[in-house]
């Protein structure tokens, strides 16, 4: 039997939409009160040559001495808490959208009907509770803090849904970042709230997230770092540029979103890696230079998605959850070969 054709135009809007994060300095005993915006500071540093040298230069003391004489001069952005402030306050908002059944664009009506039937089957047979719980845990455990999470004494996460007068407060260290096992009632409640929106055709939810991280007086803070496209070493150019919003230190929405969707424990090598990875088409982890869902494994998104929409059936719940998490992530998935 001939394989059913795929639409040449197919796209989905993302259903978890974080804002950029904004950073403030706070005091732990008075967190959330009288906080001050964190500023990016440029400073000039005189470093030493420390990169790996070619063998011929490393073995020549004269060449090495000459290179060391030329100091590594840099202008870099830095960010740290002011003196007498011991707590980082990171604020962002998260919009959760429903209507997963409807692609934002699709030029094949037959495919659209099969896809809608597949979502209906997923909703009735499996449901969004597991995905909602995992997203909620990544909010509660402060994964979105990235490097700011390391070496902190305390982390408290406040999540508000003002339209329903709901607030959840979490101690981030109560929850693992290695797995998604929990019986915490507040996390389950938040996860169910997210799941209910994802399962609804017309619903949405706006969350306000405030994270308070006790890292110590005057300690370094780590905003997002901007990508420097111009690599030329012009005079006065910075070698590191930190992200700011109207002069206030910030974190990219993409970085926050990546942390929230780091829920994939369904790939084959999870037991070896012992850590979830972000929901990606090929299970790509750029820091490791590896794709954990290569097409050769037939566990990549396109293979699983094409097979599922062909027969309107998932092989198992793990594959189903991964595919639906990719739809929630959003993207352009049409058959580009047409």
- Whole-number Å distance between alpha carbons of 226 and 229: 9
Q: Measuring CA to CA, which residue among 307, 324, 319, 317 is closest to residue 6?
A: 307
Sign of the C-alpha dihedral computed for residues 87, 245, 136 and 297 taken in this order? negative
Confidence (pLDDT) at 123: 96
Average pLDDT of 61-67?
A: 71
Range list of H helices, the chain: 55-58, 61-69, 109-125, 129-140, 185-199, 253-260, 270-273, 301-311, 317-329
- Whole-number Å distance between alpha carbons of 168 and 209: 10
Average pLDDT of 70-82?
A: 87
Strand partners, 88: 25, 213
Backbone angles phi, psi at 15, to 5 degrees: -105, -10
Digit-coded pLDDT (tens) for 306-330: 999 999 999 999 999 999 999 999 9
For the chain, report the end-to-end CA distance as a whole number of angstroms.
21
3-state secondary structure 141-154: CCHHHHHHHCCCCE
Confidence (pLDDT) at 180: 96
**Six-digit token string for 215:** 């890292």
What torsion, rounded to 10 degrees, do the Cα atoms 163, 167, 172, 178 define?
-50
Confidence (pLDDT) at 282: 97
In the predicted structure, residue 128 carries a pLDDT above the cut 50? yes
In the predicted structure, residue 227 carries a pLDDT above the cut 90? no
- Whole-number Å distance between alpha carbons of 179 and 175: 9
Task: Please give the model's pTM, rounded to 2 decimal places.
Answer: 0.93
Confidence (pLDDT) at 235: 55
Q: Which residues contact 288 (CB under 8 A, 6 or more apart)?
A: none
**Six-digit token string for 160:** 């508000």
Pair 81, 217: CB distance under 8 Å? yes
Digit-coded pLDDT (tens) for 98-111: 999 999 999 999 99
Model confidence band, residue 58 (pLDDT cutoffs 50, 70, 90): low
Pair 174, 184: CB distance under 8 Å? yes
Q: Measuring CA to CA, which residue among 226, 184, 302, 235 is closest to residue 74?
A: 235
């Amino acid at each position: 039997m001939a394989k059913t054709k795929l639409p040449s135009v197919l796209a989905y809007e993302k259903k978890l939409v974080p804002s950029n994060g904004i950073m403030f300095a706070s005091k732990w005993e008075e967190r959330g009160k009288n906080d001050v915006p964190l500023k990016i500071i440029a400073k000039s540093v005189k470093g030493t040559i420390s990169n790996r040298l070619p063998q011929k230069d490393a073995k020549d003391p004269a060449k090495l001495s000459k290179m060391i004489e030329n100091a590594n001069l840099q202008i870099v952005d830095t960010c740290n808490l002011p003196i007498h402030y011991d707590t980082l306050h990171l604020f962002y908002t998260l919009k959760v959208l429903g209507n997963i059944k409807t692609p934002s664009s699709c030029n094949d009506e037959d495919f659209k009907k099969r896809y809608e039937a597949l979502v209906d089957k997923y909703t009735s047979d499996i449901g969004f509770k597991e995905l909602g719980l995992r997203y909620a845990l990544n909010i509660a455990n402060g994964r979105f803090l990235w490097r700011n999470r390391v070496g902190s004494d305390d982390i408290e996460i406040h999540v508000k849904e003002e339209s329903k007068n709901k607030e959840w407060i979490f101690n981030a260290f109560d929850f693992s970042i290695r797995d998604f096992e929990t019986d915490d009632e507040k996390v389950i409640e938040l996860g169910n709230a997210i799941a209910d929106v994802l399962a609804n055709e017309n619903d949405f939810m706006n969350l306000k997230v405030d994270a308070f991280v006790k890292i110590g007086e005057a300690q370094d803070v780590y905003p997002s770092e901007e990508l420097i496209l111009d690599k030329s070493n012009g005079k006065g150019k910075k070698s590191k540029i930190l992200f700011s919003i109207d002069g206030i230190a910030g974190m990219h929405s993409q970085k926050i979103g990546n942390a929230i969707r780091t829920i994939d424990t369904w790939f084959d090598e999870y037991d070896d890696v012992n850590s979830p990875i972000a929901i990606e088409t090929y299970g790509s982890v750029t820091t490791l230079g590896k794709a954990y869902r290569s097409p050769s494994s037939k566990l990549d998104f396109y293979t699983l998605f094409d097979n599922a929409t062909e027969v309107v059936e998932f092989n198992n719940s793990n594959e189903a959850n991964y595919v639906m998490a990719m739809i929630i992530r959003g993207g352009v998935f049409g058959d580009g070969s047409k």
